[in-house]
Amino acid sequence: MTDTGTHALSDVLDELERSIDGDQVRVAHVVDTMGRKSFASLMLVFSLISTSPASAIPGMTAIVAVLVFILVVQMMVGRDSVWLPSFITRRKMSAKKLNKGIRFMRKPVNFVERFLKPRLTFLFHRPWLWLPMILILCLTLFMPFMELIPTSGSIASGVIALFAASLLTRDGLLALASLALLSVLPVTIYLWQT
Protein backbone atom coordinates (compact mmCIF):
# COMPACT_ATOMS: atom_id res chain seq x y z
CA MET A 1 0.00 0.00 0.00
CA THR A 2 1.37 3.37 -0.97
CA ASP A 3 1.71 5.93 1.80
CA THR A 4 -0.50 8.73 0.52
CA GLY A 5 -1.22 10.32 3.87
CA THR A 6 0.31 13.40 5.36
CA HIS A 7 3.29 13.56 7.70
CA ALA A 8 2.34 16.87 9.31
CA LEU A 9 1.71 15.28 12.70
CA SER A 10 4.95 13.28 12.70
CA ASP A 11 6.78 16.44 11.69
CA VAL A 12 5.39 18.18 14.77
CA LEU A 13 6.55 15.31 17.01
CA ASP A 14 9.98 15.44 15.35
CA GLU A 15 10.22 19.19 16.02
CA LEU A 16 9.16 18.67 19.61
CA GLU A 17 11.74 15.93 20.07
CA ARG A 18 14.44 18.20 18.67
CA SER A 19 13.49 20.88 21.19
CA ILE A 20 14.48 18.63 24.10
CA ASP A 21 17.90 19.47 25.45
CA GLY A 22 18.95 18.66 29.01
CA ASP A 23 16.86 17.45 31.95
CA GLN A 24 14.24 20.20 31.74
CA VAL A 25 12.52 21.88 28.81
CA ARG A 26 11.09 25.39 29.08
CA VAL A 27 7.78 26.15 27.39
CA ALA A 28 9.49 29.15 25.73
CA HIS A 29 12.02 26.83 24.10
CA VAL A 30 9.23 24.62 22.71
CA VAL A 31 7.41 27.69 21.32
CA ASP A 32 10.59 29.00 19.70
CA THR A 33 11.39 25.59 18.19
CA MET A 34 7.87 25.09 16.80
CA GLY A 35 7.76 28.64 15.47
CA ARG A 36 5.92 31.72 16.65
CA LYS A 37 3.41 31.43 13.79
CA SER A 38 2.54 27.79 14.48
CA PHE A 39 -0.72 28.09 16.39
CA ALA A 40 -2.05 24.67 15.34
CA SER A 41 1.31 22.94 15.92
CA LEU A 42 1.58 24.40 19.41
CA MET A 43 -2.03 23.48 20.20
CA LEU A 44 -1.32 19.94 19.02
CA VAL A 45 1.94 19.63 20.96
CA PHE A 46 0.55 20.84 24.25
CA SER A 47 -2.67 18.85 24.00
CA LEU A 48 -0.73 15.69 23.07
CA ILE A 49 1.50 16.20 26.09
CA SER A 50 -1.62 16.24 28.23
CA THR A 51 -2.89 12.99 26.69
CA SER A 52 0.41 11.17 27.16
CA PRO A 53 2.07 9.78 30.32
CA ALA A 54 3.49 13.29 30.79
CA SER A 55 0.01 14.27 31.99
CA ALA A 56 0.97 12.70 35.31
CA ILE A 57 2.80 15.95 36.07
CA PRO A 58 0.59 17.76 38.62
CA GLY A 59 -1.13 20.77 37.10
CA MET A 60 -0.36 19.74 33.51
CA THR A 61 -4.05 19.73 32.47
CA ALA A 62 -4.55 23.23 33.88
CA ILE A 63 -1.42 24.54 32.13
CA VAL A 64 -2.53 23.00 28.83
CA ALA A 65 -5.98 24.54 29.27
CA VAL A 66 -4.48 28.01 29.75
CA LEU A 67 -2.15 27.55 26.78
CA VAL A 68 -4.88 26.34 24.45
CA PHE A 69 -7.25 29.09 25.59
CA ILE A 70 -4.63 31.75 24.84
CA LEU A 71 -3.78 30.18 21.47
CA VAL A 72 -7.42 29.92 20.35
CA VAL A 73 -8.23 33.49 21.38
CA GLN A 74 -5.23 34.71 19.39
CA MET A 75 -6.30 32.65 16.38
CA MET A 76 -9.82 34.09 16.59
CA VAL A 77 -8.62 37.70 16.68
CA GLY A 78 -6.26 37.05 13.77
CA ARG A 79 -2.86 37.48 15.43
CA ASP A 80 0.10 36.71 13.18
CA SER A 81 2.36 35.30 15.86
CA VAL A 82 2.00 33.54 19.19
CA TRP A 83 2.28 35.49 22.40
CA LEU A 84 2.32 33.73 25.76
CA PRO A 85 2.66 35.33 29.19
CA SER A 86 6.00 34.90 30.93
CA PHE A 87 4.52 32.90 33.81
CA ILE A 88 3.78 30.21 31.21
CA THR A 89 6.91 30.47 29.09
CA ARG A 90 9.13 30.15 32.17
CA ARG A 91 7.48 26.84 33.14
CA LYS A 92 9.64 23.76 32.80
CA MET A 93 8.75 20.21 31.87
CA SER A 94 10.70 17.08 32.62
CA ALA A 95 12.62 16.08 29.49
CA LYS A 96 12.38 12.42 30.49
CA LYS A 97 8.57 12.52 30.79
CA LEU A 98 8.31 14.54 27.59
CA ASN A 99 10.41 11.99 25.68
CA LYS A 100 8.27 9.20 27.12
CA GLY A 101 5.15 11.01 25.94
CA ILE A 102 6.57 11.48 22.45
CA ARG A 103 7.45 7.78 22.19
CA PHE A 104 3.95 6.93 23.45
CA MET A 105 2.36 9.05 20.70
CA ARG A 106 4.49 7.87 17.75
CA LYS A 107 2.57 4.69 16.93
CA PRO A 108 -0.94 6.15 17.03
CA VAL A 109 0.18 9.24 15.11
CA ASN A 110 1.85 7.15 12.39
CA PHE A 111 -1.28 5.01 12.09
CA VAL A 112 -3.69 7.96 11.91
CA GLU A 113 -1.59 9.90 9.40
CA ARG A 114 -2.23 7.27 6.73
CA PHE A 115 -5.89 8.30 6.62
CA LEU A 116 -5.54 12.07 6.79
CA LYS A 117 -5.65 14.26 3.71
CA PRO A 118 -6.96 17.67 2.70
CA ARG A 119 -10.74 17.47 2.22
CA LEU A 120 -13.77 19.60 3.05
CA THR A 121 -11.33 22.50 3.37
CA PHE A 122 -14.12 25.09 3.39
CA LEU A 123 -14.52 24.16 7.08
CA PHE A 124 -11.24 25.97 7.80
CA HIS A 125 -12.64 29.37 6.86
CA ARG A 126 -14.87 31.69 8.81
CA PRO A 127 -17.65 31.28 9.91
CA TRP A 128 -17.26 27.47 9.99
CA LEU A 129 -14.00 27.60 11.92
CA TRP A 130 -15.52 29.61 14.76
CA LEU A 131 -17.83 26.90 16.13
CA PRO A 132 -15.14 24.38 17.14
CA MET A 133 -12.95 27.22 18.41
CA ILE A 134 -15.73 28.52 20.66
CA LEU A 135 -16.38 25.00 21.95
CA ILE A 136 -12.66 24.56 22.68
CA LEU A 137 -12.64 27.86 24.60
CA CYS A 138 -15.55 26.60 26.70
CA LEU A 139 -13.85 23.25 27.26
CA THR A 140 -10.61 24.87 28.40
CA LEU A 141 -12.50 26.75 31.10
CA PHE A 142 -13.47 23.42 32.68
CA MET A 143 -10.21 21.55 32.12
CA PRO A 144 -8.47 22.68 35.35
CA PHE A 145 -11.33 21.06 37.30
CA MET A 146 -10.98 17.87 35.25
CA GLU A 147 -7.78 17.06 37.11
CA LEU A 148 -10.08 15.87 39.89
CA ILE A 149 -11.68 13.27 37.60
CA PRO A 150 -9.12 10.69 36.46
CA THR A 151 -8.43 10.69 32.69
CA SER A 152 -11.08 13.31 31.89
CA GLY A 153 -8.42 15.97 31.27
CA SER A 154 -6.56 13.59 28.96
CA ILE A 155 -9.76 12.89 27.04
CA ALA A 156 -10.48 16.61 26.67
CA SER A 157 -6.91 17.20 25.51
CA GLY A 158 -7.28 14.36 23.02
CA VAL A 159 -10.31 16.03 21.47
CA ILE A 160 -8.41 19.32 21.23
CA ALA A 161 -5.51 17.42 19.63
CA LEU A 162 -7.92 16.08 16.99
CA PHE A 163 -9.00 19.60 16.11
CA ALA A 164 -5.39 20.82 15.97
CA ALA A 165 -4.50 17.85 13.76
CA SER A 166 -7.36 18.74 11.43
CA LEU A 167 -6.00 22.29 11.16
CA LEU A 168 -2.51 21.03 10.34
CA THR A 169 -3.65 18.50 7.76
CA ARG A 170 -6.62 20.54 6.43
CA ASP A 171 -8.77 17.43 6.91
CA GLY A 172 -12.36 18.62 7.24
CA LEU A 173 -13.59 15.14 8.06
CA LEU A 174 -11.33 15.10 11.11
CA ALA A 175 -12.56 18.62 11.97
CA LEU A 176 -16.16 17.33 11.89
CA ALA A 177 -15.21 14.40 14.12
CA SER A 178 -13.57 16.74 16.62
CA LEU A 179 -16.61 19.03 16.48
CA ALA A 180 -18.90 16.09 17.25
CA LEU A 181 -16.71 15.04 20.17
CA LEU A 182 -16.47 18.63 21.42
CA SER A 183 -20.26 18.73 21.44
CA VAL A 184 -20.77 15.52 23.45
CA LEU A 185 -17.70 15.62 25.71
CA PRO A 186 -19.14 17.89 28.43
CA VAL A 187 -22.28 15.75 28.77
CA THR A 188 -20.23 12.55 28.83
CA ILE A 189 -17.90 13.79 31.55
CA TYR A 190 -20.84 15.05 33.59
CA LEU A 191 -22.62 11.69 33.35
CA TRP A 192 -19.40 9.82 34.06
CA GLN A 193 -18.82 11.61 37.36
CA THR A 194 -22.40 11.11 38.63
Residue 1 lies in a domain: no
pTM of the complete model beyond 0.85: no
In a domain? residue 77: yes
- For residue 3, tell me if it sits in a domain: no
Q: What total number of domains does the chain contain?
A: 1
Q: What is the DSSP string of 80-131?
A: SS----HHHHT-EEEHHHHHHHHHHHHHHHHHHHTT---BSGGGGSTTTTHH
Contact 91, 27 (CB under 8 A): yes
Q: What angle do CA 160, 165, 168 make, to 5 degrees?
A: 130
Average pLDDT over residues 70-85: 92
- Expressed as residue numbers, the domain containing 44 is 8-193
Is the model's pLDDT at 190 over the cut of 60?
yes
Percent of the chain with pLDDT over 70: 91
AA identity, residue 9? L
Query: Does the pLDDT of residue 112 top 90, yes or no?
Result: no
114-145 confidence digits (pLDDT tens)? 888 999 988 888 888 888 999 899 999 988 88
Mean per-residue pLDDT, 104-114: 87
On whether residue 100 sits in a domain, the answer given is: yes
Reported confidence tier of residue 3, pLDDT bands at 50, 70, 90: very low
What digits encode the pLDDT tens for the residues 156-181?
888 999 999 999 999 999 999 998 88
